[in-house]
Structure 1
Amino acid sequence: MLALHCLGTADGQVVLWAEDSARPDRRPGKAARGAVEHPFAVPGAELAERLGVEGTELTVRALLPSHPSAPLPSPELVRDPLATAAAQRGAVRLRPWLVGGLATTAAVPEPDDVRLGASARYLAALREFAEDLVGRGRVLPAVTSSGHARWRPAPTGADSARLARLREAMPPALRAQQVGGDGLPAGTVLSSVLDTLVDTIARQRIGDLDLAPGGLVGDQAAAVTHALLSGLSGDPTMGTPALPTERLASALTTWRASAAHDGPVRACFRLHSPDGDETWAVEFLLQAADDPSVLVPASEVWNGGPNVLRRWVAQPADLLLAELGRAGRIIPEIDDALHDTHPTGLALDTAGAHAFLTRAGELDQAGFGVLLPSWWQTAAAEVGLKLTTTSPGTPGVVSGKSGMGRDELVQYRWDMAVGESTLTAAELKALADAKVPLVRVRGRWVHLDQRRLAAGLEFIRRSAEGSTSAGNIMALAALPPDDPLLPAPVVGIDGDGWLADLLNGRMEARLEPVKAPAGFGADLRPYQERGLAWMAFLDRLGMGACLADDMGLGKTVQLLALEALARADAERPPTLLVCPMSLVGNWQREAAKFAPDLRVHVHHGSSRGRLDEVDADLVITTYNLLARDSARFAEREWDRVVLDEAQNIKNSASRQSRAARSIPARHRIALTGTPVENRLAELWSIMDFANPGLLGSVHRFRARFAVPIERYHDEDAATRLRRVTGPFVLRRVKTDPTIISDLPDKVEMKQLCNLTAEQASLYQAVVDDMLLKVDESEGVQRKGLVLSTITRLKQVCNHPAQYLGDGSRIAGRSGKLARLEETLEEVIADGDKALVFTQFAAFGGMLVPHLAARFDTEVLFLHGGVAKARRDAMVERFQSGDGPSIFLLSLKAGGTGLTLTAANHVIHLDRWWNPAVEDQATDRAFRIGQRRDVQVRKLMCIGTLEEKIDAMIERKKALARLAVGTGEDWLTELSTEELREVVSLSAEVVIE
């Protein structure tokens, strides 16, 4: 595994270097007096071969954080913590190292065996910015002092804040190249790297153009032009004695200064809306390009200007005059203001204000600051349609014949509105008669789209009110503003009855909580009763639902309560529940515990039969089988299809996503704690399963919602998306006070995991070996045999590589590890932190590099070999707000004496069969100072000794603390038959 880094630029190219986890530890000796070779750096030639890029091999002197004898390994490349703990002693200081690197113009590659360090990730972000500049034409030619033609960035005013953020966010590793005794300043590195990237990208884009036609040699000016264009598209060298490159460089600098602004201070124009009369004012100011909050009015500039300006410019007044003259070429009215000796602003009428607003973007593109009224960006969309609906029925009624549904007739009325304020007939006439698109409505200035207004008035004249089905109203409310069925966007929804509540997102709060039916094995909490009522209500409407409660809030119990409620009054076809293989056992046991009257069938394994012959209420299957047996599932009539961990269909093009959408069912429910993990397209996939066609095709969804929201942060598009999906997505989070107050202080849960085929084979081999020997042993020998077998079986349940001790790969071989990864993924996505306990320090040492690579984050590991000072430093870092999210601890080293209240999740990877020991470990997070509820998960493998011993403890829970002594010695007293029952492997526990 490589960790790839960047060290700035050299000779117009980006310098890459890498650390290799497979390189043997080399003892470089102390680096106090001078730089020595970095022990883990990959030579440039080897790096070029492994990355598959071309470049020049070089050696760079870099200042890197180091112990006295070795550099710190980068966070992206975690070496074996147990093996290297002893070497990482002593104070950490910046020390010089000679790093082999590769100077290249290629984009940052990322093969499977390469992880990007912070500097390489930053370089990728900077390259994206450079591509954006080149794509927008924000580049200009220049000639360097050495006579080389270069493309240089010409950022606009809007880019200045982005540049400032990039400079502040620069990781130290990128500027670690040593010049003199120090590293390089962030501003210097940013300018150098951005110049290099812009020049490289611009050359790539124009390299195929014919910019050097023949016949230009005779005229010197033409020869200069020819040399410049050739230098900008190919070989940058221009310096020949016959060409006046110095004069050309000066001319280009002057031209560039007139076209773009890259100085520290620029002119800024702020438009003020009138309060009483119709006079608008444009205020002139000077603004710091790097800190847009620094604004100095022109009146102060003419009086000498505050001292803050002199940090950047010696003569602020001269700069302001030059800037106003440049802006006057874009907006002539600004040029007219220069007739005053000391211009401070510009007065405009409403028509002039509208002209200024429409051309303000040109000022911004030219590098000026522009401050416009907040209503300008959204006002054009504010004038739209308001829908008022009236529907009978009581929202809280979710059973019986309430008459509510998609086909129910409801009354509606359309009005024109600004925001949610309905316009009167007089106001509509005034808007229609307006001569200028800027109009004041109820004290607010509105940018009026006359064509939209005329179309809206005609729409209301034809269909102001009437009655139609609730389904039609829901479809109209979901339409985007550019749909031809509506002349203007829906800017407000109001009315009485269940439909208005549903469209406004008020339904969950107004639904009367529904009690679970008689015989249900749990008392639902109030928020769970509201969730049950919401799902039951949508069930009656025939609309799909996405229950997106946070992890630990009880999505499983709410769904089982819905099934029990639905089947209490009438016979129904079965419900198909699809979940990851690791959760099949959980669903079986939860159903048996909470809804024992439900007939449950698991469709899994080689012996799975015909689905049309299955007589059950709940059929459980896995995502793999959903795709493999999609034809079988499509042939059966289903009452409901439920997807647990519905993020498994986030890729709408995958086989299992297509299979899920193809299954015919009366009702559909998606259960997920993370409806959106990376992109909005994932939400589309889940919603298109629950309510097919609601969001249109994936291509229309991308154009209407995903691109505007993800790329341009369009608030209007986000509001429309919330309005469309809001009625069908119920999201409750643990941080909500109304939810937290309903939860206990500590929520404990047992999570059952399946064995992989490899684990099952190893497990059976260990059991067979013990059963052959146990009858022939007695006393201390028998005790030792039982305890060693239990230890070996627990190692197998954890991971084959732990049991075998062969250093083999980690990924994809353990059901328990897969469940741990799923849990940690949700924990990190929620911004939470987790403690992960294991009684095996060696297993922890294996997990640290794997989890660090899997989640691209640092993983702390506390074990018996960690010295007290380092242990205290780990605790302090984890407790800090920006510390690592995952803390792995061996049970003996971390089970007592620590306060780790930054974590609100505790995961016990392997069980210690003494409840007191587990409680002590859990109390590292669940103690005074903890402000959030703690969720405790105890991972066990289905059908193994882990589940069976837990069941034995549960059966005699009242005596558990007395009957179970320290450790696992009590297990050695079991008879051979009892041991056989405890350790034997149950059937059908293997993951696919």
Structure 2
Amino acid sequence: MADWKKPISLAVRSPYRLCFRLEEPPQEEGDGRWYVRYLVQPVDDMSLLIPVPEAFGAQGKKVLARASGAGSAREAVLSALGRASALSPQIERSLGKSAPAGYFLNKTGAYEFLSSTSTLLDRSGFGVLLPSWWTRKGGKVRLSVGARVKSSTLQGQAGMTLDKVLNVHWEVALGSQVLTREELESLAALKAPLVKVRGQWVAMSAEEIQAALAFWKGKTDSRMKARDLLALSLGTSAAVAGMDFRGVQASGWIGELLERLRGDSRFAELASPAGFRGTLRPYQARGYSWLSFLSQWGLGACLADDMGLGKTVQTLAFIQARRESGENNPFLLVCPTSVVANWKKEASRFTPDLPVIIHHGLGRKKGESLKSEAERQAMVISTYGLVHRDLEHLAGIGWAGVILDEAQNIKNPEAKQARAVRSISAGCRFALTGTPVENHVGDLWSIMEFLNPGLLGNRSEFKRRFFIPIQANRDAEAASRLKRLTGPFILRRLKTDPTVISDLPKKMEMKVWCTITKEQASLYKAVVDEAEEALEGADGIARKGVILATLTKLKQVLNHPAHFLKDNSQVAGRSGKLQRLTEMLEEVLESGERSLLFTQFSEMGEILRAYLEATFAEEAPFLHGGVPRARRDAMVERFQNDEKAPHLFILSLKAGGTGLNLTRANHVFHYDRWWNPAVESQATDRAFRIGQKKNVEVHSFLCSGTVEEHIDELIERKKEVAGSVVGAGEAWLSELSNSEIRKLFQLRAEVQGE
């Protein structure tokens, strides 16, 4: 046992370490012999390396003694060589001398030392020193394939499309050095794992060289569509003919395009179109210009800005600009039913000269009638629910572009609506979404397959190259490749970005137009019919009572049927407002932000509380007039200061509209309207007040084509006197004539949802 322990004990206690250095053949010997040299290294001075024969001589002993403070190295070195000989026959054969210096190797032996023996020695505690070209490259310099393309200089864009065929010259390179065919053939003839190329030793397999030769014989020059070349340059393929792909070097217009896509040079920023009513913020102008740049080349674009940054406005500016530049074909806008009305209202506000129709509802046109009507429009708005049902009619129209709002609705590529939108031909395709990756990177494949078909390969290729490495293995390199490939086609700005936040006002107030459901429309009509009957012959206080009671009932219907019916029935899927609120809160919660939700009805507050807690699996406290003072103070304190506080806080307009400091929230939702700007402003100021460090977004919900829209229009028309007219709440409405009341209560036919 003592004899067995002795060499191990010596190795642990030894002041010296034995090292093995692989040395290349001298330059004058060309492909001569390699040498493994044995060296002694003091543990206390790792910079000192002395060949073993010198270490055993008088001078070497003195040097080592000064460096380590220990005695002779002979016993420790010979013991170490004895242990190393068990790992390598060559080391064992070299031990015939009293002071072994090392041993020679041919190229095959040198490659074996590099790839195998060195690892064994290193793991056994010996020092190993290898040529820098081996360690720097992590094993070996590989053969790779590259493409070189020349094209004419870009003079405007006439005649330049991604369907243009270009001449491509293929090159094979070793590291950064391009090889000639003669050099490759010479390497193949050597049939050695280590070869010297232009003075540099490299490790290369015969199979690798033969693959390169076979590729070169197949195509040194070829022709390829610019679209395919673009995809290749972005990294759609990591290998060509089994070899690494080193990229595309391009000049002329295709080179300029690739530089802009990669972000190496900027695309042109456009002025707002003449017919656009409003002012684009600087980041919005960049977004609209980016959409225009990609669409010019027939490339799909995903505008993935944070909620509230104006994806709708940027898209409308783009459509307006296209119409002004001579585009006569319509754009198809596909969106959830909950935002149909919002698109129509925003279009009439920002691009009032654009003809827009909604393809929706039971009375919608089909066939030639639809085609004829659509061709006279700038934009046709439809829904995900209808696009697959009416695909036969929609597919026959020559669309300038197809735009998907809330594009996460096609994250399941097998869903009918996803297959339908992919099948519609169009000049360009856009996807608008605040959450391009909602659950996992697989969501991105479906959106990209719609925008730029084939860019990410088929689903099985995407799963192999990206989904499994990223989702299962957390492969950072795979994630980087996916970002490099999709990055040119995704523009995402956050409200916290320095280039964005400086463009934003401290408080952004926006109206959210919602589409009511069939059930809501039916109840609404019933309430209006009952009111019209009651108004006949009514006057004075009785008439005023009918009008105000009807207003309350209509508000309840528009909030939610269950609010009006008071029957504790199911909540999901029955209210356009609630559907839109859910969609918006998904984005808010995804970003970790907090929200205040105001309603003037305590019953609706309870419905919201129960529904939102069940939907988002998170507490949503409700502060109303029945909450005791102490409990109210505790709720506010918790929301403001507790790290684990809920992200949603529901408040009744009267109980929570004044006297509270809730600056931790930066979103304010007015679920229903009081029609008193002063009261709503006071409620908003619970978040927008001293101490608020973020920009506040105020979302006021309105149902399109209903009394809410009509009153809003009335107030907007009389804005200069609205404060004095509306200041008393809603009583002023009772002063309107019966014909005015009928117009106020009227429900427009086209606003009904599915």
Could you tell me which residue of structure 1 aligns to residue 696 of structure 2? 934
Cα gap change, 1:408/1:979 in structure 2, threshold over 3 Å: closer, same or farther? same
| Contact persistence 2:670–2:699 (CA under 8 A) | yes
Pick the aligned partner of 2:314 from 542, 558, 568. 558
Alpha-carbon separation, structure 1, partners of 2:504 and 2:330: 32
Could you tell me which residue of structure 1 aligns to residue 584 of structure 2? 823
Cα gap change, 1:449/1:729 in structure 2, threshold over 3 Å: closer, same or farther? farther
What are the superposed Cα offsets for residues 22-71 of structure 1, whole Å, 9 maximum, x if unpaired? xxxxxxxxxxxxxxxxxxxxxxxxxxxxxxxxxxxxxxxxxxxxxxxxxx
Could you tell me which residue of structure 2 aligns to residue 988 of structure 1? 750
What are the superposed Cα offsets for residues 819-860 of structure 1, whole Å, 9 maximum, x if unpaired? 111111111122222211111112111211211111122212
AA partner of residue 407 (structure 1):
K
Alpha-carbon separation, structure 2, partners of 1:379 and 1:991: 64
Q: CA deviation at 1:881?
A: 4.7
Pick the aligned partner of 1:477 from 229, 233, 240. 233
Q: CA deviation at 1:500?
A: 5.6
When the two chains are superposed, the root-mean-square deviation of aligned CA atoms in Å is: 4.2
Q: CA deviation at 1:712?
A: 0.7
Cα gap change, 1:530/1:961 in structure 2, threshold over 3 Å: closer, same or farther? same
Could you tell me which residue of structure 1 aligns to residue 42 of structure 2? none
Could you tell me which residue of structure 2 aligns to residue 961 of structure 1? 723
Q: Do structure 1's residue 748 and structure 2's residue 509 form an aligned pair?
A: yes
* 2:592 counterpart SS class: coil
Cα gap change, 1:358/1:985 in structure 2, threshold over 3 Å: closer, same or farther? farther
Q: CA deviation at 1:605?
A: 2.0
Alpha-carbon separation, structure 2, partners of 1:669 and 1:589: 20
Q: Do structure 1's residue 407 and structure 2's residue 168 form an aligned pair?
A: no
Q: Do structure 1's residue 599 and structure 2's residue 355 form an aligned pair?
A: yes
AA partner of residue 965 (structure 1):
G
Q: CA deviation at 1:510?
A: 0.4
Q: Do structure 1's residue 583 and structure 2's residue 339 form an aligned pair?
A: yes
Q: Do structure 1's residue 540 and structure 2's residue 296 form an aligned pair?
A: yes
**Consecutive unaligned residues in structure 1, runs of 5 or more:** 1-271, 282-327, 334-348, 364-374
| Contact persistence 2:236–2:456 (CA under 8 A) | no
Alpha-carbon separation, structure 2, partners of 1:276 and 1:765: 95
Cα gap change, 1:812/1:463 in structure 2, threshold over 3 Å: closer, same or farther? same
| Contact persistence 2:172–2:178 (CA under 8 A) | no
What are the within-5 Å matches in structure 2 for residues 301-380 of structure 1? 355=116
What are the within-5 Å matches in structure 2 for residues 421-440 of structure 1? 422-423=176-177
| Contact persistence 2:260–2:266 (CA under 8 A) | no
Cα gap change, 1:677/1:619 in structure 2, threshold over 3 Å: closer, same or farther? same
Q: CA deviation at 1:663?
A: 1.1
Could you tell me which residue of structure 2 aligns to residue 108 of structure 1? none
Could you tell me which residue of structure 1 aligns to residue 64 of structure 2? none
| Contact persistence 2:331–2:378 (CA under 8 A) | yes
Cα gap change, 1:522/1:452 in structure 2, threshold over 3 Å: closer, same or farther? farther
Alpha-carbon separation, structure 1, partners of 2:20 and 2:236: 30
* 1:635 counterpart SS class: coil
Alpha-carbon separation, structure 2, partners of 1:503 and 1:589: 38
Alpha-carbon separation, structure 2, partners of 1:555 and 1:469: 32
Could you tell me which residue of structure 1 aligns to residue 671 of structure 2? 909
* Larger RCO (alpha carbons 8 Å, 6+ apart): 2
| Contact persistence 1:475–1:694 (CA under 8 A) | yes
* 2:748 counterpart SS class: coil
| Contact persistence 1:574–1:638 (CA under 8 A) | yes
AA partner of residue 690 (structure 1):
L
| Contact persistence 2:403–2:430 (CA under 8 A) | yes
AA partner of residue 649 (structure 2):
F
| Contact persistence 1:904–1:934 (CA under 8 A) | yes
Cα gap change, 1:631/1:404 in structure 2, threshold over 3 Å: closer, same or farther? closer
Could you tell me which residue of structure 2 aligns to residue 163 of structure 1? none
Could you tell me which residue of structure 1 aligns to residue 682 of structure 2? 920
Could you tell me which residue of structure 2 aligns to residue 900 of structure 1? 662
Alpha-carbon separation, structure 2, partners of 1:656 and 1:693: 19
What are the superposed Cα offsets for residues 758-782 of structure 1, whole Å, 9 maximum, x if unpaired? 2112212222222222344333333
Alpha-carbon separation, structure 2, partners of 1:847 and 1:449: 68
Q: CA deviation at 1:489?
A: 4.0
Q: CA deviation at 1:508?
A: 9.3
What are the superposed Cα offsets for residues 247-273 of structure 1, whole Å, 9 maximum, x if unpaired? xxxxxxxxxxxxxxxxxxxxxxxxx99
Cα gap change, 1:761/1:467 in structure 2, threshold over 3 Å: closer, same or farther? closer
Cα gap change, 1:635/1:969 in structure 2, threshold over 3 Å: closer, same or farther? same
* 1:887 counterpart SS class: strand
Cα gap change, 1:353/1:498 in structure 2, threshold over 3 Å: closer, same or farther? same
Could you tell me which residue of structure 2 aligns to residue 254 of structure 1? none
AA partner of residue 552 (structure 2):
T
| Contact persistence 1:384–1:491 (CA under 8 A) | no
Cα gap change, 1:279/1:659 in structure 2, threshold over 3 Å: closer, same or farther? farther
Q: Do structure 1's residue 668 and structure 2's residue 429 form an aligned pair?
A: yes
Cα gap change, 1:727/1:388 in structure 2, threshold over 3 Å: closer, same or farther? farther
Cα gap change, 1:728/1:982 in structure 2, threshold over 3 Å: closer, same or farther? same
TM-score, length-normalised on structure 1? 0.58
Q: CA deviation at 1:785?
A: 2.7
AA partner of residue 324 (structure 2):
A
Could you tell me which residue of structure 2 aligns to residue 612 of structure 1? 371
| Contact persistence 1:376–1:447 (CA under 8 A) | no
Alpha-carbon separation, structure 2, partners of 1:508 and 1:924: 45
Could you tell me which residue of structure 2 aligns to residue 636 of structure 1? 397
| Contact persistence 1:350–1:438 (CA under 8 A) | no
| Contact persistence 2:639–2:662 (CA under 8 A) | yes
**In the comparison of the two structures, how many residue pairs are matched?**
639
What are the superposed Cα offsets for residues 291-311 of structure 1, whole Å, 9 maximum, x if unpaired? xxxxxxxxxxxxxxxxxxxxx
Q: CA deviation at 1:818?
A: 0.6
| Contact persistence 1:545–1:728 (CA under 8 A) | yes
TM-score, length-normalised on structure 2? 0.75
Q: CA deviation at 1:457?
A: 8.0
Alpha-carbon separation, structure 1, partners of 2:307 and 2:729: 31
Cα gap change, 1:806/1:568 in structure 2, threshold over 3 Å: closer, same or farther? same
Q: CA deviation at 1:934?
A: 1.7
Q: CA deviation at 1:521?
A: 1.2
* 2:690 counterpart SS class: coil
Q: Do structure 1's residue 574 and structure 2's residue 330 form an aligned pair?
A: yes
* 2:589 counterpart SS class: helix
What are the superposed Cα offsets for residues 684-731 of structure 1, whole Å, 9 maximum, x if unpaired? 111111112222211221122111111111122212212221222222
Pick the aligned partner of 1:716 from 477, 486, 494. 477
Give me the identity figure in percent: 46
What are the within-5 Å matches in structure 2 for residues 385-400 of structure 1? none
What are the within-5 Å matches in structure 2 for residues 620-631 of structure 1? 620-631=381-392
